[in-house]
A and B are shown apart, each in its own frame.
Chain A
């Protein structure tokens, strides 16, 4: 039917949709396992895998020289995680202090984390090594559908002029979906303000470009309201504090936490997280043992409501305890220019002189009406998966369904449940699969765990050879010497 419609069709056994970090980590694994480039295609609307990631980190105030929130051995360019980023940076910077920090983390020191630049440079090296760009096909994926004879059709709109027809189709036995976050979601009161006043300049999301805020503050003293208690709020605060010091600014900061954490919290002495001054403190996005220890093992066995409860127990917005940030906030509180308050915001209005007034209600009944020049939404809310057309179509037409926390239900090996087709399989990794048997999905190490499960499943199905200790070691040496897989 497809052929008779005159739509060009390409037979490729494995197709990965997305082309960001999730696709890259997965095809990197498969290349190392032994799949040739001719057997795989990555369909994407971006040119290099770290493009979206770099855009989001830069907006949220992590330029290449700053450090991300990721463990030293979570390296998406190296599936062994050895040598770790700390070893590499210590070697390149001739700085053994990094190793001391690694040894003493998180007890005497903050967690050591790599510079964003280190991550991107290594990704580029690895992408070249595995011939990533030989597999990249530019285009917008419209849908993935099961094929009557087994496997899947992936319908793609190529960039204008790149193909003779408006659509092209890939016929494949395996499809992998890693399209990242379906989209940003604003806090409702902020969305309402933006729509009502058509003002997209003064109420901004930290994940969208918002340099104008920092530039404005350099021209005259101003007040900024920060919303949210996660790492992005920490980052934005750091930028505001840094600029204040660097340029001698008079910026006032009002920080609104919906949940204001005052100390250690948790139901049991065995499940208590540190916190204070509004924040819940945690080194990484999840407790460290989700990537391989006890929590990973526990979650793997849980279903339905029990799984949802476990997610809830370890969830909640949090940020790392970093000594530098603590000092900046302490100075801000003492200097009277950093004010953290608990509250929910009923609405935001514009004052007559064009500033913003937030109507904040605290749980103790106090109403505050802080006036500011800008509001930065750092809550990092994510849109529902059905906002993405590929997921919406899968849920509607291909048998996929939602997990206990509302996202895509996947198997322990990341096959999307309910979508099997003949001898083919449909996999998904990344943020869309949060709520499954493995929690840390939207992290570097989580993407690697998913990629390993997928690769091992493909080995069970005979698509690629299994990876044993000898072959793994041989491949590792190839990585070290930067020779082709």
Chain B
């Protein structure tokens, strides 16, 4: 899928709400370094997804701008995976600094496990299986609606 700006944002939100939620529910019971009850962990995990979505709109604007320097106006597969590094770091430091007050502090190991597994799962789905139910998605720059 070669994205348009609207397509990027929609795909991100859609995948967070589907793949992201399912993976969070599956992974939270086994993330390392946490002592809180599972219910609280779920709340924290889902709030992290919300934060990835909200901050992501800003990130997508940046990616869209950078994409303009590419003749093909494409977004290589590798970029889709590697952007987890800056996005993860920014979110991690925001959480650590307490700037996102409504999310409880999370140990580093737990945050990175959750964040990486969710990200890789979303990236894998976006690079193939997404096309199975949604046959028009890839021809519409990633727009779901």
- The 8 A CB mask of A281-301 against B (1 = contact, 0 = none) is 011000111011111110000
CB pair B72 A289 closer than 8 Å: yes
CB pair B2 A292 closer than 8 Å: yes
CB pair A293 B141 closer than 8 Å: yes
Interface residues of B in 50-71 (CB under 8 A from A): 67-69, 71
Cβ-based interface call for B39 (8 A): no
B139 and chain A: residue at smallest CB distance? A292
CB pair B131 A81 closer than 8 Å: yes
Cβ-based interface call for A266 (8 A): yes
Interface residues of B in 38-52 (CB under 8 A from A): none
Alpha-carbon separation in the docked complex, A204 to B129 (Å): 45
CB pair B74 A293 closer than 8 Å: yes
Cβ-based interface call for A483 (8 A): no
Contact of B1 among A273, A283, A292, A469 (CB under 8 A): A292
Contact of B3 among A82, A287, A293 (CB under 8 A): A293
Residues of B within 8 A of A459 (CB): none
- The 8 A CB mask of A194-225 against B (1 = contact, 0 = none) is 00000000000000000000000000000000
CB pair A288 B69 closer than 8 Å: no
| Partner-binding segment picked from A130-138, A386-394, A470-478 | A470-478
Contact of A270 among B2, B69, B76, B134 (CB under 8 A): B69
A470 and chain B: residue at smallest CB distance? B133
CB pair B77 A102 closer than 8 Å: yes
Number of interface residues of A (CB under 8 A): 41
CB distance from A335 to the nearest CB of B (A): 32
Alpha-carbon separation in the docked complex, A266 to B3 (Å): 22
Alpha-carbon separation in the docked complex, A295 to B141 (Å): 10
CB distance from A279 to the nearest CB of B (A): 14
Interface residues of A in 280-336 (CB under 8 A from B): 282-283, 287-289, 291-297
CB pair A105 B77 closer than 8 Å: yes
Residues of B within 8 A of A476 (CB): 132
CB distance from A392 to the nearest CB of B (A): 32
Contact of A452 among B73, B78, B135 (CB under 8 A): B135
Q: List 21 A-B contacts (CB under 8 A).
A: A73-B128, A80-B135, A82-B128, A102-B77, A103-B77, A103-B78, A103-B81, A106-B76, A287-B72, A289-B141, A291-B139, A292-B1, A292-B138, A293-B7, A293-B141, A295-B73, A297-B4, A467-B135, A472-B133, A472-B135, A473-B133
Known: A73-B138, A289-B141, A293-B4. 15 other contacts (CB 8 A): A73-B128, A80-B131, A82-B129, A102-B77, A103-B77, A106-B76, A107-B78, A270-B69, A271-B71, A289-B72, A292-B141, A293-B3, A296-B139, A467-B135, A472-B134
Alpha-carbon separation in the docked complex, A469 to B135 (Å): 8
Interface residues of B in 97-145 (CB under 8 A from A): 128-129, 131-136, 138-142
Instruction: Tell whether A266 pairs with B71 under 8 Å between CB atoms, given A103-B78, A293-B4.
Output: yes
Alpha-carbon separation in the docked complex, A295 to B131 (Å): 20
Residues of A within 8 A of B129 (CB): 82
Contact of B76 among A82, A105, A272, A473 (CB under 8 A): A105
Alpha-carbon separation in the docked complex, A384 to B73 (Å): 31
Residues of A within 8 A of B141 (CB): 289, 292-294, 296-297
CB distance from A316 to the nearest CB of B (A): 12
